[in-house]
Structure 1
Amino acid sequence: MKYLVADFNIACAAELMQTARDLVADLAGEAGFESFEDTPEGIRGYVQTDALDKQTLDGGIADFPMPDVHITYTICPAEDKNWNASWEASGFDPVIVDRRIIICDAKRPIPDTDNMTPIFIDACQAFGTGTHQTTRMIVSALLSLDLDGRRVLDCGCGTGILGIAASKMGAKGVVGYDIDEWSVENTEHNCQINHVENMEVLHGDALVLSHVSGVFDVVLANINRNILLHDLETFKDIMASGALLVMSGFYEADIPMLLAKATELKLKEVGRKTDGEWACLMLQLA
């Protein structure tokens, strides 16, 4: 994949810089950016060449909510390499969810699982290790469901962590998809190391679901707000009667907008979780 790197120069008072960085990362994330790092002048972001929505980016900067902050940016092709390599090499500490699931770095020695169900993740250019609030909330929501014999869809599967968790909780079959080919390969790899044999992984966006037969009892989506708004109708069309949609990847402030769209599609809120500013919604199809 080809990436672009953008350097955002943020001119503001020192005490405003971190808040401004967070807001720039939020609006850039809506424009397709995947990862960020702080710089002395502001923040640097990375986006796949084909994923950049420059109109959204420029609009977000023009409407920036901090009047005393001035933002400019430059963008150029990035060196073609794995920008997560250093993070992947250092790995992550075990993540425990509700004392029932322990998510472990597959590169590290196996920890004491203390009768919890282990999930081993070898992250390679893909999102989803359990260290982020959104992943943990969806795994926690899954633990509240009876997945025995259910068919599950993992939208934007990343490392495959959510689909793998669903399989280990009793799902009879899981389908995952991701627009990133590396994520598809990483999910397949993580299925192998977790001995999950009932998860099929597809390459593409939500349009790939037109090639999937049947409907799903549970749909999982840890994706940013704008993609969720765009794809909600597609998700609804492949949900069985009474099926659940568990989604995160957005802020608590985004809930009213998402619920308005869900109501149009006859998806009713049946639960929610929050962790800091992040949120997770559970919606049921009537």
Structure 2
Amino acid sequence: MKYFEVEFTISPLSADATDLLAALAGEAGFETFEETETGIKGYVQQNLFDEETLRSCIEDFPFEGTRIIYNVREAEDRDWNEQWEQEGFDPIIIADGKLVIHDGRHLPECKSGISIEIDAKLAFGTGTHETTRMICSQIEQYAKGARVLDCGTGTGILSIAALKYGAAEAIGYDIDEWSVDNARHNAVINRVDNHFTSLLGDASIIDTIDGDFDLIMANINRNILLSDMPRFVNKMHQGSILILSGFYTADIPLLVEKAENLGISLKSQIQDHDWACLVFRY
């Protein structure tokens, strides 16, 4: 998968300006960032880069007197997660110890609760990120006996968690072929592959799946969620649950308004730092 590396120079530089720029750049397709001495570097899939949106965000940047310039170049074609894959990650405790996520190198000390092993290929999607942890903390109360749809499945961790909590079936999809294969691989590791299907495609693939879902989960950026929510709702029935994350607390009003216009209501919300997770009921 080809990426652009975009270096942002912020003047004057501040933590608030950096955080806000990262949030706004997410609307232009950026996935991850790293801090630099003069600002941040952002990484975005070449086919998802919306430069017009990025320019608009910078032109309308709300910090008076702040100047932002950026330089786009093709990212080096290498394994960006090589160090992560080699080192792995320490066990991640979620929901007061009810759920533990770990890799094959770092086994959890406590054997109680649900344990999920993830092959450590990518940092995002293993539970290290706030959005993944928040969704995982909500799954237990809705998963038992449910038919689950996992939108943007990534490592497959949300589907695997749901199945370990008693879901009857989980179907995940992702636009990244590597993620589709990795999710399937992780399902095998956790011995839930007989109940998990991993599909390659964007949200349009939902239209090809027969039947409704009891639980739908999506950990995606705000703009994609706003675009895809009508498809999600079209696959819900009375009492279905939709769990959304991947966006900032500032985005909550937009997503709630969209959901209400589609006929689903906000049931609960949580936040971790500036990230948010919303639970809706049909």
Q: TM-score, normalised by structure 2?
A: 0.95
Per the alignment, residue 257 of structure 1 pairs with 254
Counterpart residue type for residue 20 of structure 1: A
Match of 2:98 in 1: 100
CA contact (8 A) 1:126 1:182 kept: no
The amino acid of 2:7's aligned partner reads D
Instruction: Give the counterpart of 1:188 among 170, 184, 190.
Output: 184
Q: 1:200 aligns with which of 187, 197, 200?
A: 197
Q: What percent identity do the matched residue pairs reach? A: 50
Distance 1:179 1:231 in 2: 14
Aligned CA RMSD, in angstroms, stands at 1.3
1:126 shift after superposition? 6.7
Tell me the alpha carbon deviations over residues 135-189 of structure 1, each in whole angstroms, 9 at most, x when there is no partner. 11111111222x2221000001111110000010111100001111111111111
Read off the aligned partner of 1:105 and give its amino acid letter: D
User: Which of these residues, 226, 231, 234, is aligned with residue 231 of structure 2?
Assistant: 234
1:35-68: CA deviation from partner (whole Å, max 9, x where unpaired): 1111112111111110101111111111111112
Conservation of the 8 A alpha-carbon contact between 1:214 and 1:238: yes
CA distance in 2, matches of 1:64, 1:87: 34
Question: What is aligned with 1:154?
Answer: 150
Unaligned 5+ segments in structure 1 are none
Alignment match, 2:267: 270
Check whether the contact 1:126–1:158 (CA below 8 A) recurs between aligned residues. Answer: no
Where 2:172 maps in the other structure, the secondary structure is strand
Q: Residues 91 and 68 from structure 1, CA distance in 2 versus in 1: closer, same or farther, beyond 3 angstroms?
A: farther
Partner of 1:59: 56
Q: CA deviation at 1:278?
A: 1.4
Distance 1:175 1:115 in 2: 27
Contact 2:23 2:248 (8 Å CA) reproduced: no
Amino acid aligned to 2:2: K
SS in 1 for 2:54: helix
Partner secondary structure for residue 276 of structure 2? strand
Equivalent residue runs for 1:4-83 within 5 Å: 4-12=4-12, 16-83=13-80
- Residue 2 of structure 1 pairs with residue 2 of structure 2: yes
In 2: Cα distance, 1:123 partner to 1:17 partner: 33
Aligned to 1:136: 133
Residue of 170, 176, 187 corresponding to 1:174: 170
1:248 corresponds, among 242, 245, 249, to 245
Q: 1:136 to 1:251 in 2, by over 3 A?
A: same
Contact (CA 8 Å) 2:91, 2:107: kept in 1 or not?
A: no
Query: 8 Å contact 1:123–1:159 — kept in the other structure?
Result: no
State the secondary structure of the residue aligned to 1:66: coil
- Letter matched to residue 55 of structure 1: E
TM-score of the pair, normalised by structure 1: 0.94
